[in-house]
Amino acid sequence: MRSVVGKENKIIYVIIFLLCLYGMPQRVCAREGSLPPHLIQTVNDQDIYEGLVALGFLECDTLDEADLSQAYELVEQCVVRVNMGNAYGSGIIWRMTDESVIIATNEHVLAYWDDMTSFVHFQQGYYLNAGVLGVSDVYDVGFLEVDTQALGYEELAMLRYVSADEEVYEELFSGDAMFSVGAGMAIGAVEHHEGTVEDAWRYIEDFENNMLYGHGYARAGMSGGGVFDAYGHFIGMLTGGTLRDEIAAVPLPCIEEAWEEVRERETLWNED
């Protein structure tokens, strides 16, 4: 395992490397011979990927102005299909680390998960095995873990995880535009449906929790998918819907709590 100091140095090299590639293309071409040789020799695909992760460059972009269509184009790549034999659900790329790609989905989706037969399909065309990292005891949320060793570093650098900001969630109001995204009926298909926020914190007895409640369409197979605002910010996890075009989603702050709950439990297990 590389030391922390060594990793920090790698990140610095990656920053310089990326600046040379993207920040000053004309000058790099003119002075290519003067670049320190050790930069090229020490920065490989793994170092670049780990630098991108550390700097947050793999977080999905968001818009400065509301536009549902453009927002969907940005976040589509963050949604995955959780395939479990004859059943399937949806998920979102929640976090990316040096070792893992973390998928968030509903706990009730993972009730069908089998490590031997289930897999995750990414919009980039990857079919990957995963393992259940943990599920929340409080919310209908669970997490899958995909080993980064299952993909090349160039492929990993093409993935994007959702942009999640609790301050954005706290600014939601009734009537705000939103849209949900989930896996379509065929592998590789994605569908999205526009709607509006009705209440960011409504207690719904069926879920025994406060939920993001709004108007929009959802169908079977979209559970675990993402709900986003018109700027592309992730605001909730689609969990249920009615024939009256009502939808309920686990609010972003609750997903953050579930994530901390699972991480803390994982830490305790590792210590034991």
Write the pLDDT tens digit of every residue in 130-184.
999 999 999 999 999 999 999 999 999 999 999 999 999 999 999 999 999 999 9
If you average pLDDT over residues 192-202, what whole number do you get?
A: 97
- Exposed, middle or buried, 57 (CB in 10 Å: 0-12/13-18/19+)? middle
CA-CA-CA-CA torsion for 217, 222, 228, 234, nearest 10 degrees? 160
* Options 2.40.10.10, 3.40.50.9100, 3.90.1150.10, 3.30.450.40; CATH of 78-161: 2.40.10.10
Return d(Cα 121, Cα 17) in angstroms, integer: 32
26 — pLDDT class (breaks 50, 70, 90): very low
Residue 136 near residue 237, CB atoms below 8 Å: no
Q: In whole angstroms, what is the distance from residue 252 CA to residue 227 CA? A: 9
Give 42-88 pLDDT, tens digit per residue.
778 999 999 999 999 999 999 999 999 999 999 999 999 999 988 99
State the average pLDDT for the chain: 88
pLDDT score for 232 = 98
Place of tokens 């998928």: 103
Tens of pLDDT, residue by residue over 209-261, are: 999 999 999 999 999 999 999 999 999 999 999 999 999 999 999 999 999 99
Match domain 166-255 to its CATH number in 2.40.10.10, 3.30.950.10, 3.90.226.10, 2.60.40.10.
2.40.10.10
How do the domains of the chain map onto residue ranges? Answer: 4-55, 78-161, 166-255
pLDDT for 28: 40
User: 4-18 and 45-55 helices cross at what angle (nearest 10)?
Assistant: 90
User: Within a 10 A sphere around the Cβ of 187, how many other Cβ atoms?
Assistant: 11
More confident residue, 92 or 17: 92
Q: How many residues comprise the chain?
A: 272
- Confidence at residue 32, expressed as pLDDT on a 0 to 100 scale: 47
CA 204 remoteness from chain centre: 25
Q: What is the pLDDT of residue 140?
A: 97
pLDDT for the residue numbered 210: 97
| 66 CB neighbour count, 10 Å cutoff | 13
- Tell me what pLDDT residue 124 has: 92
The continuous run of DSSP H or E covering 241 comes out as strand 234-241
Confidence (pTM):
0.85
Asked if the model's pLDDT at residue 25 lies above 50, the reply is no
* Domains 78-161 and 166-255 in one fold: yes
pLDDT of residue 258: 98
pLDDT digits (tens, 9 = 90+) for 198-222: 999 999 999 999 999 999 999 999 9
Give the model's pLDDT for residue 266. 77
pLDDT of residue 218: 93
Backbone angles phi, psi at 73, to 5 degrees: -60, -35
